[in-house]
């Protein structure tokens, strides 16, 4: 475990923050302030009463902002729910919780993985009960990566150096003690050897288990170990002969296998994902081991091992950011040479002008009566040579370059036109159309006018349009976002908070924003009914929405079991492959005609 060291010299805090039972010579104060871990105390109700300098340095928060505020506010929504539904009650009954894995949101909104241990000290004469929290920075993955890269550098220098690096790696223990798989050093040695042999078809997949911390926390480390062993065995069974499976860190595995190109790597990643998502029974409870997978193929030339590992690591981060439980492939055309990106960007700009964008629509079904109440419009690009491209293949580029404004304008107009078309069809006259807004669109001063223009141009009643904004984009510039949402509300347009639970939207923000709907992220829905942690999170999201008086939509519903669990919790609307994949407009009309007034029929 790595701990933090304060970046600033010792400066004891004000008298109010110093433990009252400490000696008065300042020695204890300095120890408290500059201990190698974060240290906080809270009231029984979770309000912060003291915080040490180490924690402030680590997170960038100011002492005056933290004192008196709730500890839970320092956690992203998912972790906050975990804290308030699991850890805090346990603390009240047993008096302590140890090593709860959470992320702490720093002042700059970046997240710091942390291990929190808390102890409750009962009320004594003259002192109220308090809770003492010790916060350690969780193991820094980057440090491991640096070591690995250094070893690879050495390995690539010469045959001798490689042999030496391999020998060193072997001495460092090539195997992970729990699973017996190669560890990071072992993987580096294998990868170095494969590339040194001149192979040009080496694929690397990084497999990161989603919410592993929740399993460990709710079922205990023995169950966590069992899950890891199951995952190791499943990965081993799913790869081809000659492939290497390694364990990189607590919940992170890697596979090195022969892959001719990125599509082969994607195919392999999808196979692995499928192998992993079969339920595992732990401690009598069924758990779904959902994972995020990043894949990359080694580029030609020197430094290949280092680049392919980096590319796979970046891809897996993207998979997690995009909602977990998914595969992301490092596509050299997207992140490769500036010239390639520029070409693709040019093609996209022309493609938008030439009418190559398409909209697919995914039905949203009301649980109460199974009626089709809306659709989400999802963009596709019919590329002249590369076929129908999914948003993941071009949205990021559009977002980074600013072209997402033109793309977003096209989507808005096309979706409103489509909705107006349906509004005139008695079979689906009440179907709402939801449109995704990028952060740039949300902060664009012309947004409200663009929406107004589209509505009046196609004569669509405003209440049939819903705009989906992510939690993250609301938090990016809350003041502007709030003003924009108020203006949209005045128009009568609905607002939905997308990917809810994955970002950092404080409850205060949510109350301030006039939103109509929370869309519970797919990563939580996946584990519903199978994982205790995910079930608790989804239930808390539904309750939160009910408390705020807004509708809940659950996305990514794939099984009957998930549908039933959502219905039992009182979730309003569901969307997912169980009902339909995103489809073309005429298929929606057909769908509406068949399902209007009937109970929800799972897709066949």
Cβ neighbours of residue 319 closer than 8 Å, sequence gap 6 or more: 208, 292, 293, 294, 326, 327, 328
User: Which member of 395, 433, 451, 464 binds ligand C2E (CB under 6 A)?
Assistant: 395
* Residue 556 interacting with ligand C2E (CB under 6 A): yes
Q: How far is the CB of 398 from ligand C2E (least distance, A)?
A: 8
Q: Toward Ca ion, which CB reaches closer, 105 or 466? A: 466
Beta strands 111-121; 96-105: pairing state: antiparallel
101: β partners: 115
Stretch that binds ligand C2E, among 29-37, 260-268, 391-399, 447-455 (CB under 6 A): 391-399
Q: What does the alpha-carbon distance between residue 315 and residue 313 come to, in Å, rounded to a whole number?
A: 5
Q: Toward ligand C2E, which CB reaches closer, 169 or 554? A: 554
Q: Which does 410 bind (CB under 5 to 8 A by kind): Ca ion, ligand C2E, none?
A: none
Question: For the window 415-444, what string marks contact with ligand C2E as x by the rule CB under 6 A?
Answer: ---------------------x-x------
User: Which member of 516, 582, 595, 600 binds ligand C2E (CB under 6 A)?
Assistant: 582
Q: Which does 362 bind (CB under 5 to 8 A by kind): Ca ion, ligand C2E, none?
A: ligand C2E
Size of the site for ligand C2E (CB under 6 A): 22
User: Which member of 46, 279, 336, 391 binds ligand C2E (CB under 6 A)?
Assistant: 391
Q: What does the alpha-carbon distance between residue 582 and residue 590 come to, in Å, rounded to a whole number?
A: 14
* Residue 438 interacting with Ca ion (CB under 5 A): no
Distances (CA, A) of 220 to 250, 279, 364: 14, 18, 37
Q: Which does 501 bind (CB under 5 to 8 A by kind): ligand C2E, Ca ion, none?
A: none
Beta strands 432-436; 465-470: pairing state: parallel
* Residue 529 interacting with ligand C2E (CB under 6 A): no
User: Which member of 362, 436, 473, 562 binds Ca ion (CB under 5 A)?
Assistant: 436
User: Is-contact 283 223, C-beta < 8 A?
Assistant: yes
User: Is-contact 197 146, C-beta < 8 A?
Assistant: no
* Residue 289 interacting with ligand C2E (CB under 6 A): no
User: Which member of 52, 362, 393, 531 binds ligand C2E (CB under 6 A)?
Assistant: 362
* Residue 432 interacting with Ca ion (CB under 5 A): no
* Residue 388 interacting with ligand C2E (CB under 6 A): no
Burial per residue of 276-290, b for 16 or more beta-carbon CB atoms within 10 angstroms, e otherwise = bbeebebeeeebbbb
497: β partners: 469, 518
Q: Toward ligand C2E, which CB reaches closer, 137 or 378? A: 378
Q: What does the alpha-carbon distance between residue 349 and residue 356 come to, in Å, rounded to a whole number?
A: 10
User: Is-contact 564 397, C-beta < 8 A?
Assistant: no
* Residue 498 interacting with Ca ion (CB under 5 A): yes
Q: What does the alpha-carbon distance between residue 541 and residue 167 come to, in Å, rounded to a whole number?
A: 51
Q: Which does 389 bind (CB under 5 to 8 A by kind): Ca ion, ligand C2E, none?
A: none
Q: Toward ligand C2E, which CB reaches closer, 106 or 583? A: 583
How wide is the angle at C-alpha 266 spanned by C-alphas 399 and 273, nearest 5°? 105
Q: What does the alpha-carbon distance between residue 599 and residue 296 come to, in Å, rounded to a whole number?
A: 44
Q: What does the alpha-carbon distance between residue 518 and residue 496 come to, in Å, rounded to a whole number?
A: 6
Q: How far is the CB of 347 from Ca ion (least distance, A)?
A: 25
Q: How far is the CB of 340 from ligand C2E (least distance, A)?
A: 21
Size of the site for Ca ion (CB under 5 A): 4
- Residues in region 463-482 near Ca ion by CB under 5 A: 468
User: Which member of 295, 411, 466, 574 binds ligand C2E (CB under 6 A)?
Assistant: 411
Q: Which does 438 bind (CB under 5 to 8 A by kind): Ca ion, ligand C2E, none?
A: ligand C2E
Question: For the window 314-343, what string marks contact with ligand C2E as x by the rule CB under 6 A?
Answer: ---------x--------------------
38: β partners: 135
By C-alpha distance, which of 47, 104, 116, 48 is closest to 78? 104
Stretch that binds Ca ion, among 6-14, 284-292, 379-387, 492-500 (CB under 5 A): 492-500
By C-alpha distance, which of 513, 508, 529 is closest to 571? 529
247: β partners: 253
Checking phi first, is residue 87 left (phi over 0); if not, alpha (psi -120 to 50) or beta?
alpha
Binding site for ligand C2E (CB under 6 A): 323, 362, 378-379, 390-392, 395, 404, 408, 411, 436, 438, 498-499, 555-558, 576-577, 582
Binding site for Ca ion (CB under 5 A): 436, 468, 498-499
């Amino acid at each position: 475990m790595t701990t933090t060291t304060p970046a600033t010299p010792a400066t004891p805090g004000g008298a109010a923050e110093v433990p009252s039972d400490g000696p008065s010579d300042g020695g204890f104060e300095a120890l408290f302030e500059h201990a190698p871990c974060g240290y906080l105390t809270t009231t029984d109700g979770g309000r912060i009463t003291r915080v040490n300098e180490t924690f402030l340095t680590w997170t960038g928060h100011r002492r005056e902002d933290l004192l008196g505020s709730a500890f839970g506010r320092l956690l992203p929504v998912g972790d906050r729910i975990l804290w308030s539904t699991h850890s805090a009650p346990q603390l009240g009954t047993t008096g302590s919780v140890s090593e709860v894995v959470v992320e702490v949101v720093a002042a700059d909104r970046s997240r710091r993985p942390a291990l929190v241990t808390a102890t409750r000290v009962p009320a004594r004469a003259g002192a109220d009960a308090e809770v003492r929290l010790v916060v350690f920075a969780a193991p820094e993955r980057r440090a491991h990566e640096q070591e690995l890269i250094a070893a690879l550098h050495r390995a690539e220098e010469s045959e001798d150096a490689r042999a030496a690096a391999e020998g060193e790696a072997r001495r460092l223990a090539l195997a992970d003690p729990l699973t017996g798989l190669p560890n990071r050093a072992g993987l580096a040695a294998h990868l170095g050897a494969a590339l040194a042999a001149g192979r040009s078809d080496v694929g690397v997949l990084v497999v990161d288990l989603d919410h592993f911390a929740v399993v460990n926390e709710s079922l205990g480390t023995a169950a966590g170990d069992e899950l890891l062993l199951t995952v190791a065995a499943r990965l081993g069974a799913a790869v081809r002969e000659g492939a290497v499976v390694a364990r990189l860190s607590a919940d992170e595995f890697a596979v090195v296998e022969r892959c001719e190109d990125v599509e082969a790597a994607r195919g392999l990643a999808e196979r692995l994902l499928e192998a992993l998502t079969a339920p595992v029974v732990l401690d009598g409870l069924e758990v779904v081991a959902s994972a995020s997978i990043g894949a990359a193929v080694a580029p030609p030339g020197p430094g290949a091992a280092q680049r392919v590992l980096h590319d796979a690591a970046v891809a897996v981060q993207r998979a997690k950011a995009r909602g977990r439980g998914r595969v992301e492939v490092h596509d050299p055309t997207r992140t490769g040479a500036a010239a390639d990106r520029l070409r693709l960007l040019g093609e996209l700009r022309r493609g938008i002008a030439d009418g190559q964008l398409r909209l697919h629509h995914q039905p949203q079904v009301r649980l109460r009566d199974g009626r089709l109440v809306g659709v989400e419009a999802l963009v596709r690009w019919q590329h002249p040579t590369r076929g129908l491209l999914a948003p993941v293949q071009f949205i990021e580029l559009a977002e980074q370059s600013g072209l997402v404004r033109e793309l977003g304008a096209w989507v808005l107009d096309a979706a409103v036109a489509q909705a107006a078309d349906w509004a005139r069809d008695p079979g689906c006259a009440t179907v709402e159309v939801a449109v995704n807004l990028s952060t740039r669109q949300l902060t664009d001063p012309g947004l409200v006018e663009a929406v107004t223009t589209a509505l009046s141009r196609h004569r669509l009643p405003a209440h049939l349009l819903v705009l989906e904004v992510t939690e993250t984009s609301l938090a990016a510039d809350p003041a502007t976002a709030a003003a924009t949402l108020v203006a949209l509300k005045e128009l009568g347009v609905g607002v939905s908070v997308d990917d809810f639970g994955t970002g950092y939207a404080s409850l205060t923000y949510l109350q301030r924003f006039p939103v109509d709907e929370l869309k519970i992220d797919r990563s939580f829905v996946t584990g519903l009914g199978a994982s205790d942690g995910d079930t608790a999170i989804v239930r808390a999201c539904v309750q939160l929405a009910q408390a705020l008086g807004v509708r809940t939509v659950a996305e990514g519903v794939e099984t009957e079991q998930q549908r039933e669990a959502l219905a039992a919790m009182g979730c309003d609307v569901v969307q997912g492959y169980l009902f339909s994949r995103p489809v073309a407009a005429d298929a929606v009309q057909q769908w509406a005609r068949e399902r209007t007034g009937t109970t929800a029929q799972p897709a066949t």
